[in-house]
Structure 1
Amino acid sequence: MSHDGERSISIISFIGSVFSPWYRWSGRKSPENHCCINVATYGPGGRWTMTDRGRAALHQTKNTFQVGPSKLTWAGGKLIFDIDEMTWPHLGRLKGRVTVTPSAVTGVELPLKADGSHVWRPFAPSSEIEVDLNQPGWQWTGHGYFDANFGTAALEDDFSYWTWGRFPSKANGAWCFYDASVRDGSELAVGVHFDADGRAEVVEAPPRTRFARSKWLVRRETRADPGYTPRQVHDMLDAPFYCRSAIRTKVFGEEMVGVHEALDLDRFASPLIKPMLAVKVPRKPGWPSPR
């Protein structure tokens, strides 16, 4: 998110694209055949790109991850995204570089289910980012984070609802809250504070607090001090089953603005959703062999 709060960017790299209808329709038997680098920019001139690509487009080394024309590189303690993607529905190219510089890299790995079938890996909850894209006004610096999720089963098979938030603190580091309703009837409820050096401390989080539903009426809740009602301050992604936004909340006496996600997996599991997603997630199975 830019320092002025007017622009933000999300980049998600997938092997086995969990939100791809093509991967689900394939029976989820070959994740390498459904890979993707999803880029979404929010604010003036915002763009969307998410192309489901086949195994020929995937190339990995110790320090690089490439899917088709776009690539991630870990170099000099920085994560560098070189982006070259076709946007949809604007049918233009989104090109440029985004550089993420962590204040520290954590050693934290958190199972989201007791059997270890889903794992959250918060690599760098506190980072600086530099954005340089081929769009007017899309050259800026700001704050951000990067993390990863790993799993051996479909999200909608194991969870019915999922919410997550990351809130940078002016005092030190960032707070992360992870809550989910598991289909076996159990509940995930995690609060973690990460300091600027990457040290993590599990905390007793403030209560779950509901706030206004999204435009698609997705239920939203996050952690907030008693008596405080969170509110959206920046609209990002709003879909029938998923909402990403910047929200303001108050935890442990400090008001903070951070990125929040809410995911209704009952809705996502509906067969009606997959054809809708196919419009936003085109499939391109082939790719030229590298020279």
Structure 2
Amino acid sequence: MFSPYYKKSGRADPLDHCALNVALYGPGARWTMTERARGAVRRDADTLQIGPSSVHWTGNALEIEIEEMDKRVGVPWQRRVAGRIRVIPETMNATAFALDPQGLHRWHCLAPRARIEVTMQAPALSWQGSAYLDSNFGAEALEQGFRVWHWSRAHSRKGAFVMYEGIRQSGRPFASALRFAADGTPHEEDVLPPVAPLPNTLWQMERKTRADRGLASVARTWEDAPFYARSTLRSTLYGEPVVSVQESLDMARFASPVVQFMLPYRIPRVG
């Protein structure tokens, strides 16, 4: 959905603009998002093949086979990114949510809680931990529906919390707080925690979240781009201390000619 080539094409053929985005942070960091044309894409009910990489649903786990190259334009080296990831849902949720009154943009939290097993060959890393799986889909471009949005998710003792808010293109704000039970059932909270402002990123991206008493801190900024930021936060939600993954997105910045000019250097296209 952030492909400059897809946007320039008029978004007529999404299968002609597919990519697997891999972001590894910390020591041995890698970042790859190579866009591939329709001829390199295969799919059926359980599998999506994008070039040499694939995503496959086994019935109880999502298995991601990675064979990519970190070859961003301007980076003086090309480094292999290869490995296998298994995402094993602990809970599943069948309900998708509309993010706008017309239902043109929908968000589906497929697995509010999951476990993850990562085995990488390049770089040589492996770990296990907590995970989450969701999907966004819609009938129009994001910048047509939204100006900005902020999202965060945290494991709770038994389930998960998800905070969603932003400003639609009409100028109207929206906000929701979802609590997912241990069985994956979503419950929309009637009372939202107050807004917790966060410091801007180096790119001056505005970030915010929701937290008890309006207090939250940034533990680590993982991704800092002109129109997007991803961070780890520490806060308290409904009386429970949590560690959250938080994302902020500025669609006006994304659609600007300057950012559209910069994106191909970050996202190469083959085929």
Q: Does the TM-score normalized on the shorter chain lie above 0.5?
A: yes
Aligned to 1:74: 57
1:183 equivalent among 135, 153, 169: 169
1:196 Cα shift?
Answer: 2.4
How far off its partner does 1:227 sit? 4.7
Quick one: percent identity of the two aligned structures?
41
Q: State the shift of 1:76 in Å.
A: 3.8
**Among 172, 184, 195, which residue is 1:198 paired with?**
184
1:1-291 maps to which residues of 2 (within 5 A)? 18-88=1-71, 89=75, 90-135=77-122, 138-169=125-156, 171-203=157-189, 204-228=191-215, 230-285=216-271
* Greater alpha carbon shift after TM alignment, 119-128 vs 197-206: 197-206
Superposition deviation, residue 115 in structure 1: 0.9
**Structure 2: which amino acid aligns with 1:173?**
G
Mapped partners of 1:191, 1:107: distance in 2? 18
SS at match of 1:276: helix
Q: Report the AA paired with residue 242 of structure 2.
A: M
Instruction: Return the alpha-carbon distance in structure 2 between the equivalents of residues 127 and 28 of structure 1.
Output: 32
Q: What stretches of structure 1 move > 3 A for 4+ residues in a row?
A: none
Paired residue for 1:11? none
Report the Cα offset of residue 55 of structure 1: 0.6
Cα offset, 1:147, TM superposition:
0.3
Return the TM-score normalized by structure 2.
Answer: 0.95
Given residue 140 of structure 1, which amino acid in structure 2 is its aligned partner?
A: W
Q: CA deviation at 1:46?
A: 1.1
CA deviations 1:215-243 (Å, max 9, x no partner) are: 11100000011252x12112211101110
Aligned to 2:143, the other structure's residue is in SS state helix
The TM-score normalised by the length of structure 1 is 0.88
* Unaligned stretches of 5+ residues in structure 1: 1-17, 286-291
**Alignment RMSD:** 1.2
Give 1:136 shift.
5.0
Distance 1:52 1:277 in 2: 12
Give, as a single letter, the amino acid of the residue that structure 1 aligns with 2:209.
Answer: T
Residues 51 and 251 from structure 1, CA distance in 2 versus in 1: closer, same or farther, beyond 3 angstroms? same
Give, in whole Å, the separation in 2 of the partners of 1:173 and 1:255: 13
Q: Distance in 1 between matches of 2:250 and 2:269?
A: 24
Cα shift at 1:190: 1.3
Distance 1:135 1:58, change over 3 A: closer
Cα distance per residue 1:60-84 (max 9 Å; x no partner): 1111111111101111400000000
Letter in 2 for 1:160: R
The one-letter amino acid of 1:278's match is P
